[in-house]
Amino acid sequence: MDKLINWLSSGEMLTKSEFKDLIDGYTPENAEKLAFLANNKRQQIFSNNIYIRGLIEFTNYCKNNCYYCGIRRDNKNVSRYRLTKEDILPCCDKGYKLGFRTFVLQGGEDNFFTDDKLCEIISEIKNLYPDCAVTLSIGERTLESYQKLFNAGADRYLLRHETANDKHYSSLHPRELTLSNRIKCLENLKSIGYQVGCGFMVGSPNQTNEFLAEDLYFLQQFRPHMVGIGPFIPQKDTPFANQTAGTLEKTLYLLSIIRLMLPDVLLPATTALGTIHPKGREMGILSGANVIMPNLSPEIVRGKYTLYDNKLYTGDEAAENLKLLREKLKTINCKVYIGRGDSPKI
């Protein structure tokens, strides 16, 4: 195990079976060792700066039916909403004043938002806030569409691959969604010039350590600029309502491995991590994460973007409570960084 940890932290490539041994080798002691190294690595690259992103969840309509996701098409208990440009711009204004220099537009796959509509929103944000980055997280689209959105000014794109194993992918998604298309999208995004993020849920139904090893191997090959991981949390109106949630320990362990494998990666301590433990996000940072994405959506819709049960949107998850976040970060010797917070790779 020590040999594997040394290889990982000295930048050596690992095989799938070595990644599996690393994950199988979880013990609280090994987790502590990895977190110590990963936290040091984070400090080496980013000092004590934590990058913040204002998350605007602008539509919860979705044409897809992913088995894990609370805003899946067949969930009739979601009160659906769409934000207009006139709703979104005041969010950016408020966010800018608070110190946010990245706005993340996330949503379900909603055909209402054509390329033209999205381009108009993106270019208006970029005109009004030229010193800000725009990140999109709106699922699978064509190469042409990704290119148009990029030309309109989008800088980054988050598209979790969800799992790098074909069979596992089909157990989480209906037939019309395929891993190969997901990967194709990620490759297209990268070729266009986006800073690209992939990632997966920890503890999703049917996930094994072998599959997780394939996820890590995929990250090692693909070398994304960002990686989003968080525990799977069941949502009561989905086919996975009765499945068990992913754990804090395993998520932290994987965060540390990812930080060591991709030292300059942008790695959020996610809302899902904060949802399963009150100190989840602080522990995420101490395990190697360097990004936090508070909720900047209009307050009236925050309770409606219900990817999973009990999703946080108050306290330091709320963008307007940046002061609270600052205080929490101070207790772990970190601070909020005001700036775009681009990938050091570009």
Give the binding site for ligand SAH (CB under 6 A). Answer: 68-69, 106, 108-109, 137-139, 159-160, 162, 201, 230, 232-233, 235, 272, 307-308
Q: Which residues on adjacent β-strands are paired with residue 52?
A: 292
Q: Which is nearer to ligand SAH, 14 or 198 (CB)?
A: 198
Q: Which is nearer to ligand SAH, 109 or 215 (CB)?
A: 109
Buried b (16+ CB within 10 A) or exposed e, 75-88: beebeebebeeebb
Q: Which is nearer to ligand SAH, 18 or 109 (CB)?
A: 109
Shortest distance, position 344 Cβ to ligand SAH, whole Å:
24
Shortest distance, position 233 Cβ to ligand SAH, whole Å:
4
Q: Which is nearer to ligand SAH, 36 or 222 (CB)?
A: 222
Shortest distance, position 107 Cβ to ligand SAH, whole Å:
6
Inter-residue contact 61 to 251 (CB < 8 Å): no
Alpha helices, DSSP H only, in 129-199? 143-151, 166-172, 179-192
Inter-residue contact 56 to 297 (CB < 8 Å): yes
Shortest distance, position 11 Cβ to ligand SAH, whole Å:
28
Shortest distance, position 84 Cβ to ligand SAH, whole Å:
19
Q: Which is nearer to ligand SAH, 25 or 239 (CB)?
A: 239
Q: Which is nearer to ligand SAH, 39 or 137 (CB)?
A: 137
Residue with the two structure tokens 């909403």: 81
Q: Which is nearer to ligand SAH, 233 or 289 (CB)?
A: 233
Q: Enumerate residues 6+ apart whose C-beta is below 8 A from 183.
A: 161
Shortest distance, position 218 Cβ to ligand SAH, whole Å:
15
127 burial level (CB within 10 Å; 0-12, 13-18, 19+): exposed
CA distances from 31 to 60, 267, 341 (A): 36, 18, 28
Shortest distance, position 36 Cβ to ligand SAH, whole Å:
27
Residue with the two structure tokens 């949107």: 313
Strands 49-52 and 54-59: unpaired
Shortest distance, position 230 Cβ to ligand SAH, whole Å:
6
Q: Which is nearer to ligand SAH, 139 or 153 (CB)?
A: 139
CA distances from 270 to 252, 288, 289, 314 (A): 11, 12, 9, 14
Inter-residue contact 123 to 89 (CB < 8 Å): no
